[in-house]
Amino acid sequence: MDSAEDSPATAEAARHASAREARAAAVLEDYVELIEDLLATTGEARPTDIARRIGVSHATAIKAIARLKREGLAHSRPYRGVFLTEAGQALAAKLRARHRLVVDLLLALGVPPEVAEHDAEGIEHHVSEASLEAFRRFLGRPTPPGPAQP
Amino acid sequence: MDSAEDSPATAEAARHASAREARAAAVLEDYVELIEDLLATTGEARPTDIARRIGVSHATAIKAIARLKREGLAHSRPYRGVFLTEAGQALAAKLRARHRLVVDLLLALGVPPEVAEHDAEGIEHHVSEASLEAFRRFLGRPTPPGPAQP
DNA sequence: CTGATATTGTAGCGAAGGCTACATTTTGCG
DNA sequence: CGCAAAATGTAGCCTTCGCTACAATATCAG
Ligand SMILES: [Mn+2]
Ligand SMILES: [Mn+2]
Ligand SMILES: [Mn+2]
Ligand SMILES: [Mn+2]
């Protein structure tokens, strides 16, 4: 038998494929994260504010919002601001925790705060649950309860 | 005066813009890294092998190679395999070191080897020089000499 | 040497994610 | 109220990066 570790080239290809998926998801993740933040801190998430904070034109932001809606993560009605669906809120909570954990890890490793925040913005989208778990252990944090049964 | 720390939204937007650039560069970086590896280990880098290892169709690989050539990182002639220019080789050396450093850091943090290799494939493209420096310190490695004058 | 096979290259398509320019709607104020 | 400014939405356009299908070239066995 020879398929115990699956042809190396195949494993490598799978890693690249996985990274491509993460790259594709990164954009929407950032929008969800930001919308949650705007809603939490200001009570509303308007396309213009979203665009300004993400650094794209408002037209681009509106298209991204349309995609969020298509994927069931957000809803909005014309001129009324954007809101997160249940699914969107759940995702946002996960993303917020992940973002913080990545930043905290970088800080613990001695990365300057500005740089930590900068690099985390890209890194966060590529950190698997297994790595997050290792980060928590390293930071001496208890593993958080999974989706607790209410 | 109020521009000491530049409006927070602006800084945030800049981080996102930077992450977008890294995301765009990631594809070509992976090709350069792989081509160097193929050349080093087998002496030649053929489009088909590149495609298989990256996990895309050969047509996609050939287009990426065309872009590498456009950007002055590689050269090739029909049916003759791909080679890296001076610039391509320099970039490859940097990318190889970065990839290894990221993997080693994850391993040191207790991330399982398979996962480390998996996550590093995406993370590597978003780690700035300042963070790499922190990683080296954490791993107890001497800062490598910059572009040494020969 | 010749023909099958593998490799390489090309053409054309689609989705994402950018942009600018223009149209519409809302808002806020004199 | 009425109207200007701000916000929102829409309509193209471009590039990247995937894909499949097909064409052309090299390679290798027999
Ligand atoms: Mn991000
Ligand atoms: Mn984030
Ligand atoms: Mn990579
Ligand atoms: Mn790599």
Q: What digits encode the pLDDT tens for the residues A126-148? A: 999 999 999 999 999 978 776 66
How high is the pLDDT of residue B57?
Answer: 97
- Best CA proximity match to B116, nearest among A114, A132, A148: A132
- If you average pLDDT over every residue of chain A, what do you get? 93
Q: How confident is the model over B71-91, as a mean pLDDT?
A: 96
Q: Which residues surround ligand 1, an ion (CB under 5 A)?
A: A 30, 121
Q: How confident is the model over B97-105, as a mean pLDDT?
A: 98
Residue A27 pLDDT class (50, 70, 90 cuts)? very high
Amino acid identity of residue A84, one-letter, is L
A122/B126 CB distance under 8 A: yes
Question: pLDDT, tens digit, for every residue of B132-141?
Answer: 999 999 999 9
B128/A134 CB distance under 8 A: no
Note the pTM of the prediction, 2 decimals: 0.93
- Of all nucleotides, the one whose C1′ comes closest to residue B78's CA is C8
- Best CA proximity match to A62, nearest among A48, A52, A83, A75: A48
Q: Which residue's entry shows tokens 């909005």?
A: A76
H-type alpha helices, chain B = 8-42, 47-54, 58-70, 86-108, 113-123, 129-138
Q: Is A146 left (phi over 0), alpha (psi -120 to 50) or beta?
A: beta
Q: Chain B partners of A13 at a C-beta cutoff of 8 Å?
A: 52-55
Q: Which residues surround ligand 2, an ion (CB under 5 A)?
A: A 33, 99
Instruction: Report the sign of the C-alpha dihedral through residues A54, A21, A66, A102, in that order.
Output: negative
Of all helices (H) and strands (E), which one includes residue A22?
Answer: helix A8-42
Beta carbon of B9 within 7 Å of strand D? no
Q: How confident is the model over A22-34, as a mean pLDDT?
A: 97
Q: Is A107 on the interface with B (CB under 8 A)?
A: no
Q: How confident is the model over B92-112, as a mean pLDDT?
A: 98
Q: Which nucleotides of D are covered by protein (CB under 7 A)?
A: 7-12, 16-21, 25-27
pLDDT of A122 > 80? The answer is yes
A118/B15 CB distance under 8 A: yes
pLDDT of A3 > 70? The answer is no
| CA B30 – ligand 3 centroid, Å | 5
Q: Is B113 on the interface with A (CB under 8 A)?
A: no
- Of all nucleotides, the one whose C1′ comes closest to residue B30's CA is D17
- Of all nucleotides, the one whose C1′ comes closest to residue A63's CA is C17
How high is the pLDDT of residue B2?
Answer: 41
Question: pLDDT, tens digit, for every residue of A67-100?
Answer: 999 999 999 999 999 999 999 999 999 999 999 9
How high is the pLDDT of residue A4?
Answer: 44
Q: How confident is the model over A40-46, as a mean pLDDT?
A: 96
| CA A126 – ligand 1 centroid, Å | 10
Question: pLDDT, tens digit, for every residue of B6-57?
Answer: 666 689 999 999 999 999 999 999 999 999 999 999 999 999 999 999 999 9
Percent of chain B at pLDDT exceeding 90: 87
How high is the pLDDT of residue B144?
Answer: 75
Could you tell me the two tokens for A116? 């930590």
Q: Hey, what domains does chain A have and what are their CATH numbers?
A: 3-84 (1.10.10.10), 88-139 (1.10.60.10)
- What span, in angstroms and rounded, lies between the C-alpha atoms of B99 and B96? 5
Q: Residue B16: closest CA among chain A residues belongs to which residue?
A: A54
pLDDT of B1 > 50? The answer is no
Q: Chain A partners of B9 at a C-beta cutoff of 8 Å?
A: 52-53
Q: Closest ligand to B121 CA?
A: 3
Residue B142 pLDDT class (50, 70, 90 cuts)? confident
Could you tell me the two tokens for A115? 């740089």
Percent of chain A at pLDDT exceeding 70: 91
Is pLDDT larger for residue B145 or for residue B118? Answer: B118
Nucleotide D26: closest residue by CA–C1': B79
